[in-house]
Chains A and B, each alone.
Chain A
Amino acid sequence: MTETGAALVLRGVRHVWPNGIEALADLDLVLADGSFTALVGPSGCGKSTTLRIAAGLLAPSAGEVRRAPDGPGAVAVVFQDPVLLPWTHVLGNIALPLRLLGLPRAERERRALDALRLVGLDSALHLHPDELSGGMRMRVSVARALATEPRLLLMDEPFAALDEITRFALDTELLRLWVQRRFTVLFVTHSVYEAVFLAERVLVMSPRPGRIVREIPVDEPHPRARAFRASVRFAALCGEVLEALEAAGGDP
């Protein structure tokens, strides 16, 4: 894949923890602007480390990281936990990134409300996180990530803690938002099915030290219908990803 016009480039990234454990070995990853990529791999293979390096939250031991555009607000992360501030309401949580970026109050509120509408939570804006269900909390977390209109959205197993029905609903909603806005997505998951349903291509990582060992394109047009989950092609693609995982030597 070409690096010009890429939203994220990781070149020869290596990471060794202070205790000597090598988390990543020579990892290359290029995300085309506006693409949706899923990253699957056995647990402990360095998926989250890759994501933290991509976000700029962790400096790799070696290698090159480029983001375009870069800077606060251009990159957003959705963690596995919603990571909301319990003492402030939904609107305050969504406006937090805008506040940290120093936007004026009126602008903050306008953009936070827009983001809230995007995830269909405009009726909950004055509720606190402890008054929301797990699915609603995750929606708030997604809305907060989108509030700065980032070009790159990094998601670290964001829906893994939710029940399946809620997860399916949020998957569909994420795709709707992505078709609408076309930000670049890197979606880390341990669910092969979720990866195939969401992404344009699925990258498979090897066990530690992690590298990308397979790339499987999913050329099903977006927006994807629910029927795709039940199709033969979906099953075949999932089988292919599972096979790649096994060949890489690890359980998903």
Chain B
Amino acid sequence: MSGRAADRLLRTAVLAALLLLWEGLVRLYEVPHWLVPGPLAVAAELWRAREVLLPALAVTLGTALLALVVAVGAAVTLGVLAVLSRLLEYAILPVAVTLQVVPVVAVAPVILVYVERVETALVLCAALVAFFPVLANTITGLERIDPEQRDLFRLYGASRWQELLWLRLPAALPYILAGIRVAGTLALVGAVVAEFAAGTAGEQAGLAFRILESGWRLRIARMYAALVLLAAAGLLLHGLLRQGERLMLRRLHLAAREEARPSSST
């Protein structure tokens, strides 16, 4: 057995042991299910409430994904502009940093005042959270180029656009993709926080609202079920972005050497 397969087995075993411990303790001490439900009760509730929880997950994920697209588009565009013009860099960065340090929970009510459509406001809030890592990484990547590669471009009289398109952007891609991976999970967090702030009910209710609602009704198992769903969605999103990043870097021969592992383990 290779080291990688052993790792995976160990990780699964630890997770299983923790779940078993949880279930065991709940049963041993006869903890009432409305206080702390065991994993089996949560699983049962997840199944029972699937018609409420799954559409809610779809709403939240939709908000997060849309926010991610908006954030990446805006951040890469602004990053490129910032690198092209020092003046713009000085204009953009302080605003971006300020937005970054103000918590989205505090900004969301303000946005909700001005943006009439709640869905749009939610996307904006989530995008605001996801925006910064992509912007910071884009600027870092575009500015951190090999001086000799730059000399090479200058030697042949390359224009700024040629340098941007054929040197800076491809060289920045690993940074930008890493930023997007971080932004993906942040967008999900941002979407949940914004939903809490908006408190939207009805058709468009996301997972955050379902968690609040279950709390009000003391349906603790359902709260846990929604949390499990949220965690799973976050892990899935992170995994997909990571996989996409790896594939793209390998295709462009930008992959780090340590990622080359024997394929027999997979």
List residues of chain A with CB under 8 Å of any chain B CB: 52, 55-57, 71-73, 75-77, 79, 81, 83, 85-87, 96-97, 99-101, 128-131, 148
The docked-state distance in angstroms from the alpha carbon of A75 to that of B156 is 9
B259 on interface, CB distance cutoff 8 Å = no
Q: Determine whether the beta carbon of B146 is less than 8 Å from that of A83.
A: yes
Q: Determine whether the beta carbon of A73 is less than 8 Å from that of B151.
A: no
Q: Determine whether the beta carbon of B151 is less than 8 Å from that of A57.
A: yes
Chain A residues closer than 8 Å to B33, beta-carbon distance: none
Q: Determine whether the beta carbon of A97 is less than 8 Å from that of B156.
A: yes
The docked-state distance in angstroms from the alpha carbon of A99 to that of B161 is 13
Q: Determine whether the beta carbon of A85 is less than 8 Å from that of B149.
A: yes
8 Å CB contact of B154 from A57, A96, A131: A57
Nearest B residue to A77 via CB reads B155
Chain A residues closer than 8 Å to B167, beta-carbon distance: 85
Task: Tell me how far the C-beta of A103 lies from the nearest C-beta in chain B, rounded to whole angstroms.
Answer: 11
B49 on interface, CB distance cutoff 8 Å = no
Chain B residues closer than 8 Å to A76, beta-carbon distance: 155
Chain B residues closer than 8 Å to A148, beta-carbon distance: 156
8 Å CB contact of B253 from A56, A73, A75, A86: A86
Chain B residues closer than 8 Å to A86, beta-carbon distance: 252-254
Task: Tell me how far the C-beta of B69 lies from the nearest C-beta in chain A, rounded to whole angstroms.
Answer: 24
Nearest B residue to A86 via CB reads B253
Q: Determine whether the beta carbon of A81 is less than 8 Å from that of B170.
A: no
Number of interface residues of B (CB under 8 A): 19
The docked-state distance in angstroms from the alpha carbon of A236 to that of B146 is 41
Q: Determine whether the beta carbon of B151 is less than 8 Å from that of A100.
A: no
The docked-state distance in angstroms from the alpha carbon of A96 to that of B150 is 13
Task: Tell me how far the C-beta of B222 lies from the nearest C-beta in chain A, rounded to whole angstroms.
Answer: 49
Task: Tell me how far the C-beta of B158 lies from the nearest C-beta in chain A, rounded to whole angstroms.
Answer: 5
**What are the 10 tightest A-B residue pairs by CB atom distance, in nearest-first order?**
A72-B157, A100-B156, A128-B253, A87-B252, A83-B148, A97-B156, A100-B158, A87-B170, A72-B156, A86-B253
Chain B residues closer than 8 Å to A71, beta-carbon distance: 157
Chain A residues closer than 8 Å to B1, beta-carbon distance: none
Given known contacts A86-B253, A128-B253, A96 and B157 CB-to-CB distance under 8 angstroms: no
6 more A-B residue pairs beyond the given contacts A86-B252, A100-B156, with a C-beta to C-beta distance below 8 A = A52-B151, A73-B156, A87-B170, A87-B252, A99-B166, A101-B157
Q: Determine whether the beta carbon of B254 is less than 8 Å from that of A87.
A: yes
The docked-state distance in angstroms from the alpha carbon of A174 to that of B253 is 29
Q: Determine whether the beta carbon of B253 is less than 8 Å from that of A87.
A: yes
Nearest B residue to A128 via CB reads B253
Q: Determine whether the beta carbon of A100 is less than 8 Å from that of B253.
A: no
Task: Tell me how far the C-beta of A75 lies from the nearest C-beta in chain B, rounded to whole angstroms.
Answer: 7
Chain B residues closer than 8 Å to A73, beta-carbon distance: 156
Task: Tell me how far the C-beta of A27 lies from the nearest C-beta in chain B, rounded to whole angstroms.
Answer: 20
Chain A residues closer than 8 Å to B151, beta-carbon distance: 52, 55, 57, 77, 79, 83
The docked-state distance in angstroms from the alpha carbon of A73 to that of B162 is 16
Q: Determine whether the beta carbon of B152 is less than 8 Å from that of A83.
A: yes
Q: Determine whether the beta carbon of B155 is less than 8 Å from that of A55.
A: yes
Nearest A residue to B163 via CB reads A100
The contact sample of 21 A-B pairs, CB cut-off 8 A, is: A52-B151, A55-B155, A57-B151, A57-B155, A73-B156, A77-B155, A79-B148, A79-B151, A79-B152, A81-B148, A83-B146, A85-B149, A85-B166, A85-B167, A86-B254, A87-B252, A87-B253, A96-B152, A97-B155, A100-B158, A128-B253
Task: Tell me how far the C-beta of A71 lies from the nearest C-beta in chain B, rounded to whole angstroms.
Answer: 8
Chain B residues closer than 8 Å to A87, beta-carbon distance: 170, 173, 252-254
Q: Determine whether the beta carbon of B149 is less than 8 Å from that of A100.
A: no
8 Å CB contact of A85 from B154, B156, B170: B170
Task: Tell me how far the C-beta of A82 lies from the nearest C-beta in chain B, rounded to whole angstroms.
Answer: 10
Nearest B residue to A100 via CB reads B156
8 Å CB contact of A100 from B148, B162, B252: B162
Q: List B residues 127-148 near A (Cβ within 8 Å).
A: 146, 148
